Structure 1
Amino acid sequence: MKEKNLDYNSIIGLFLILLILTVFTYFNTYNDKEFLSNRFAEEKRISSFDKLSFVSKKKSKNDCVLENEVLRLRISSLGGMINEVFLKKYKAYDLIHVSHNKNLYLIKDSSFLYKMIFWVNSNKKHFKKNLISTDTLYFHPFFFQKRGKLMILIMRARNPYGVGFIDHIYTLNEGSQYHVDFHVRTVNLFPSIGKKTISINLEQKVFSLEKDRNWENSYTQIYYSHNKNSHSKVQSLSEKKSEERNIYNLNWIAHKQQFFATIFIPKKPLKNFFIRSENFPSGIFLKKIQSNILLKIKEHEEINIPFQLYFGPLDFSLLKKLDQKIENIIPFGWGFLKWINKYFFLVIFQFLEKTNLNYGVIIILMTIVVKLILSPITYKQYKLSAMMKLIRPEIDEINKKFRNSDPLKKQRAMMELYQKAGINPMSGCFSALFQIPIFYSLFKFFPTLINLRGKSFFWVDDLTSYDSILELPFSIPFYGNHVSLLTLLYSLALLIYTKISNNVSSNDPLINQKNASDMPFILYLMPIIMLLFINSYASGLSLYYFISNIINIGLIFFIKKFLLDENKIRQKIQENKKKPTKRHYWKYRIKEIMKKKKDF
């Protein structure tokens, strides 16, 4: 049977990529139509009564508003806590109008609840203990002052069972900062405080804000940092199932969405913290997150609990300024993939972003820069392929000669041929394996980059979500219920690149005749596989891969025409064959194995 000219490095790379995509897709599958239809119906119902509900709901006169350039907070008189957070520079996706044009509220209409519970002694003679829950108390604006760029607001509630007050103090910077200092204290209340244990309860229902609920839900989860063995450690709860956990020595906790987060940062680590998350299968909310904190205060001591709250985007530079490794909640991938995204792709992207060009153009420029950086690897890979094709007749001869012989003899002859020709066959495998982490890291880069959120490019309305030129009345497994033009273009470019990169470049008619049909069929499956798997991925990813393959095609023609001379390569191979062979490790090992086998 005639031997096939298989490119084993490409096949190994293909199977690794297929495995990665299968696992990645498996953990992100859901019923598109059910989720979208339920959410669409819910949004339509809310939008119909939105204006009416705002008119009928009378805001208390004691409700206060704090705002700066990027943030607007409404503090309710009932409970004295934030009941509305509006981000001025961002918009939420509107399924009805199919665009990012809704005002973006991280918190609204009691989606966030806060209460502190503790016991106080009554001033009456029979010494009765009473429970205070701050969510039932009415707070009024007791003090407001601007100190430079800082705005300070104190909301005060009276102890309903005697003397003393409870203050909620808010401090907000007038600039473009997304964090607010929140301070809870009591005034002249300590003689009345009964049990010295205080319970703080938090609850937030996380809004769905993006186009693709599937992707948004897969990126919405709880992250937290806690001290363990004198080291801070960042961990997370499951994004797919309901989960609860007790945390000790908590440094901070983040209710993270795909592009935004609500983060609680206590000034001192909290020793006893309980957290629970619950998923919503449909509707306008993604998750319900509940927390409970138990604090002990000393005898004759007032309550004094400082926090910092962050309501804003998952912007790497902003989160890094918080200086507690909070930027690690941006899901850039695990292990070294995270480093590739943070210190390679993100750096290149931020540099090109300064050009103020369209973000689609920035992705194209980023692709060109990355391909130029990796061009030496491409050159070596293509040169190895050319050299392998030139010694193909000798490889075929060895295969024919040792067809029915000991495989070790055949392997030994192959290694001798590679050594004489000056070829290291493992270098091609290393090149392929080196590019796989880069390939996969991009799957985490584009869906999490807030700079691309809502940015358009030609027919694409959001580079962090899929583009669609046709909606299908049915859903295809893995593919989805829409047609992405960028995915089609990428698959076509990949097919052309696969065909060109595996064509025989030799002018020898015998080689051409022998290898014309030797391209393994499995390599042609790659465009089909990618067409199925990335149809619902971020359009920025499809754009990057499309341009990347166009550049690859151009590089092949450029390298073949200007950099590689097959006659010189053939001459170099012949010169290497005439040189005395050096002792080769693998040749020596094979010889030793054969010797032992013969003695045995």
Structure 2
Amino acid sequence: MKDKNLDYNSIIGLILISFVLIIFTYINNNNSNFRKQDFNRKEFFTKKEIFITEKDKRKKNNFFLLENNVLKLKISSLGGGINEVLLKKYKAYDSLLSYHAKNLYLIKNYSFLYKLSFLNQEGLNIDTNTLYFQPFSLEKDEISGIQTLIMRAKNPYGKGFLDYIYTIGKKNQYDIGFSIQTRNFPFFKKKGFYLNLEHKMLSLEKDRDWENSYTQVYYSVSNDNSNGSSASVKYLSEKKTEDINIYKANWIAHKQQFFSFIFVPEKVLKNVFVRSENFSSGSFLKKIQFRTFINTEKNKEFHLSFRLYFGPLDLNLLKKYQNGFENIIPFGWGFLKWINKYFFLIVFQFLEKTNLNYGLIIVLMTIVVKLILSPITYKQYKLSAMMKLIRPEIEKLNYKYREDVFKRQRAIMELYHNVGINPMSGCISALFQIPIFYSLFKFFPTLINLRGKSFFWVEDLTSYDSILKLPFFIPFYGNHVSLLTLLYSSALLFYTKLSNNGKRDFSQKESDISSIPNMNFILYLMPIVMLLFINSYASALSLYYLTSNMINIGFFFFIKELMLDEKKIFEKIQEKKIIKRNSWKKIIKEISNKRDRNATE
């Protein structure tokens, strides 16, 4: 049979990449079956008895605005809470127009509720979400531009007031101050109160299921040790309904794909119960609730302060808060996170300064990465060429020692050593590129700079491109056809065929030794695997891989035709074999002569 010139190191690399893809896709797309749990703890925002006068029942719910350059908040008089949060510089996806065109509300129509719950001296329960708050004062500092709104509610059982105090900066600040303060309020029966919060997170992106897979709770906890204290960032499952008790919470974040709400108390919360519940359909992604008991000093008024962040997941912006907020951006785990943060992001931000279309920036980014990796690519091609040239010798050894596996392997390794080939170097090169390959799966879908950016027919580079909607769903593939994925898979198929076209080297002849032609199937399986598994991924990922394979094809011709002279490589291999053989003979001769001298003495 004809020699197929297989590069077994490439096969190993492709098998590993396929395995990583299968595991990755299974982990990220297994959202259909959510865990159902019985929530046997006390439910949040349950209806409780409270005395409300007829005058209160006739009150109308009014709204009051606070805004700066980037935020617009609507405060409700009923409950004194935030009814709406509009991000001025961003848009939500409009399914009718097929691009980001709607006003982006992180909170809308009471999707975000919070309340205090406590007992007064008579043991009567007070829930602040049933109280009517009125604007007591609205002040603006002319120097700093900070606006302060005080919403005041009267004690329904007697004297005293409860104030909600909101502060917002004039400039591009995405966080606001929120304080709770009592005024001449009768002392509580218990030293403290419960703070409850419920947040139904709105869907803002094109692919709801994909967006939901990036929506979850993150939180920071204090870790006390002998050297002081430190903090670690943890998270709840993005797929399953889950609840947890958090001890010593520094902050709690309700993270979406590109935006987040972060609750930052002035003091560490000693014990917080958090529950995250998934919605499989509708306009909401998840419902997140938390409840904590806050102690107050006996017979004293209390004044608590918080910071509330409503804004984008922008790495540079979050770093400015110096609270570890940037760790909620899911760049990947372990060293993959470092590759994304300290390599891909730096390259991307540098190219972003060119002010080119973001699709072209991705193309340039691919070129930069391929140039950096070109020495590895060259070594792989050179190793592949050398392996093809010594293939006839390997087949002779396979035939000679066909019944003794140990001798055959030893003879082949000796051949590799004689010609100066390290067979593991190709596999190591392939393994080196797998982290880069995988890290991009986390990089593009979380990069807010690409959100809503178009490129030719692509509407949004952080979501899939679709040229045809299918009337049915194909497992793993989806219910749409992505043109970029088709182009990438075609380019990968062409490159696979090109690099494994079965051409025999000038030194190779026909052989009766059988090869393994079915191993070619593994090589040609990869384009099919990629077609299935990245059809619903960010189109920026498909664009990157399409460009990468086009560059690979160009490298193939450039290196093979201009840089690699297979005739010279073959001559060097023969020279090395002769040198190694002569060296070995010289060593044997020296040992023999030494033995003869010892014998005569």
Which range, TM-score by smaller chain? 0.7 to 0.9
C-alpha deviation, 1:506, in angstroms: 6.0
Q: 2:179 aligns with which of 179, 183, 189?
A: 183
Q: In 2 relative to 1, CA 523–196 (structure 1 residues): closer, same or farther, beyond 3 Å? A: same
Query: Partners in 1 of 2:326 and 2:583 — Cα distance?
Result: 52
Kindly provide the CA deviation profile for residues 461-506 of structure 1, in whole angstroms up to 9, marking residues without a partner as x.
Answer: 0111111111111121211111111011001110111112224676
C-alpha deviation, 1:433, in angstroms: 0.4
Query: Partners in 2 of 1:16 and 1:225 — Cα distance?
Result: 35
Partner of 2:238: 239
Partner of 1:301: 300
Task: Tell me whether 1:152 sits opposite 2:148 in the alignment.
Answer: yes
Task: Tell me whether 1:315 sits opposite 2:314 in the alignment.
Answer: yes
- Partner secondary structure for residue 537 of structure 1: coil
Kindly provide the CA deviation profile for residues 237-296 of structure 1, in whole angstroms up to 9, marking residues without a partner as x.
Answer: 111121111110001111111111111011211001010111112111111111101111
Where structure 2 has 5 or more consecutive residues not aligned to the other structure, the ranges are: 33-57, 585-601
Q: 1:467 aligns with which of 465, 472, 480?
A: 465
Partner of 1:89: 89
C-alpha deviation, 1:31, in angstroms: 9.2
Partner of 1:452: 450
C-alpha deviation, 1:577, in angstroms: 2.1
C-alpha deviation, 1:119, in angstroms: 2.2
Q: In 2 relative to 1, CA 549–300 (structure 1 residues): closer, same or farther, beyond 3 Å? A: same
- Partner secondary structure for residue 549 of structure 1: helix
Where structure 1 has 5 or more consecutive residues not aligned to the other structure, the ranges are: 33-57, 122-127, 585-600
Query: Partners in 1 of 2:31 and 2:237 — Cα distance?
Result: 19
Partner of 1:124: none
Query: Partners in 1 of 2:192 and 2:483 — Cα distance?
Result: 60
Give runs of aligned pairs for residues 100-499 of structure 1, distance below 5 A. Answer: 100-121=100-121, 128-147=122-141, 148-189=144-185, 192-229=187-224, 230-405=229-404, 407-499=405-497
Query: Partners in 2 of 1:482 and 1:335 — Cα distance?
Result: 33
The amino acid of 1:365's aligned partner reads L
Query: Partners in 1 of 2:302 and 2:309 — Cα distance?
Result: 23
Kindly provide the CA deviation profile for residues 396-426 of structure 1, in whole angstroms up to 9, marking residues without a partner as x.
Answer: 1111111112x22111111111111111111
- Partner secondary structure for residue 381 of structure 1: helix
Query: Partners in 2 of 1:506 and 1:350 — Cα distance?
Result: 46
C-alpha deviation, 1:161, in angstroms: 2.6
The amino acid of 1:107's aligned partner reads I
Kindly provide the CA deviation profile for residues 110-150 of structure 1, in whole angstroms up to 9, marking residues without a partner as x.
Answer: 101110112223xxxxxx33322211222222222222222
Kindly provide the CA deviation profile for residues 309-361 of structure 1, in whole angstroms up to 9, marking residues without a partner as x.
Answer: 11111111111112121111111111111111111111111111111111111
Task: Tell me whether 1:571 sits opposite 2:566 in the alignment.
Answer: no
Q: Is the 8 A contact 1:71 1:88 kept in 2?
A: yes
Q: Is the 8 A contact 1:62 1:141 kept in 2?
A: no
Q: Is the 8 A contact 1:154 1:167 kept in 2?
A: yes
Query: Partners in 2 of 1:315 and 1:251 — Cα distance?
Result: 20
Q: In 2 relative to 1, CA 525–272 (structure 1 residues): closer, same or farther, beyond 3 Å? A: same
Q: Is the 8 A contact 1:30 1:214 kept in 2?
A: no
Q: In 2 relative to 1, CA 583–221 (structure 1 residues): closer, same or farther, beyond 3 Å? A: farther
C-alpha deviation, 1:540, in angstroms: 0.6
Query: Partners in 1 of 2:356 and 2:563 — Cα distance?
Result: 33
- When the two chains are superposed, the root-mean-square deviation of aligned CA atoms in Å is 2.4
Query: Partners in 2 of 1:90 and 1:512 — Cα distance?
Result: 65
Q: Is the 8 A contact 2:134 2:151 kept in 1?
A: yes
- Which is bigger in relative contact order (C-alpha 8 A, separation at least 6)? 2
Partner of 2:498: 500
Q: In 2 relative to 1, CA 2–509 (structure 1 residues): closer, same or farther, beyond 3 Å? A: closer
Count of matched residue pairs: 551
Q: Is the 8 A contact 2:272 2:290 kept in 1?
A: yes
Q: Is the 8 A contact 1:246 1:275 kept in 2?
A: yes
Kindly provide the CA deviation profile for residues 402-457 of structure 1, in whole angstroms up to 9, marking residues without a partner as x.
Answer: 1112x221111111111111111111010000111111111111111111111111
- Partner secondary structure for residue 453 of structure 2: coil
Query: Partners in 2 of 1:517 and 1:508 — Cα distance?
Result: 21
Query: Partners in 1 of 2:145 and 2:483 — Cα distance?
Result: 49
Query: Partners in 1 of 2:503 and 2:297 — Cα distance?
Result: 82
The amino acid of 2:199's aligned partner reads Q
TM-score with structure 2 length normalisation? 0.87
Query: Partners in 1 of 2:61 and 2:247 — Cα distance?
Result: 40
- Partner secondary structure for residue 579 of structure 1: helix
The amino acid of 2:344's aligned partner reads F
Q: Is the 8 A contact 1:389 1:504 kept in 2?
A: no
C-alpha deviation, 1:507, in angstroms: 4.6
Q: Is the 8 A contact 1:187 1:302 kept in 2?
A: yes
486-495 or 515-524: bigger deviation = 515-524
Q: Is the 8 A contact 1:138 1:157 kept in 2?
A: yes
Partner of 2:597: none
Partner of 1:559: 559
Q: Is the 8 A contact 2:2 2:511 kept in 1?
A: no
Partner of 1:42: none
- Partner secondary structure for residue 72 of structure 2: strand
Q: Is the 8 A contact 2:31 2:239 kept in 1?
A: no
Q: Is the 8 A contact 2:31 2:213 kept in 1?
A: no
Query: Partners in 1 of 2:111 and 2:458 — Cα distance?
Result: 32
Q: Is the 8 A contact 1:170 1:183 kept in 2?
A: yes
Kindly provide the CA deviation profile for residues 542-561 of structure 1, in whole angstroms up to 9, marking residues without a partner as x.
Answer: 00000000001111111122
Query: Partners in 1 of 2:464 and 2:250 — Cα distance?
Result: 36
315-324 or 507-516: bigger deviation = 507-516
Query: Partners in 1 of 2:583 and 2:217 — Cα distance?
Result: 58
Query: Partners in 2 of 1:253 and 1:439 — Cα distance?
Result: 32
- Partner secondary structure for residue 157 of structure 1: strand
505-514 or 110-119: bigger deviation = 505-514
Sequence identity (%): 66
Partner of 1:587: none
TM-score with structure 1 length normalisation? 0.87
C-alpha deviation, 1:531, in angstroms: 0.8
- Partner secondary structure for residue 231 of structure 1: strand
The amino acid of 1:213's aligned partner reads R
C-alpha deviation, 1:26, in angstroms: 2.2
Q: Is the 8 A contact 1:504 1:516 kept in 2?
A: no
- Partner secondary structure for residue 79 of structure 1: coil
Q: Is the 8 A contact 2:273 2:291 kept in 1?
A: yes
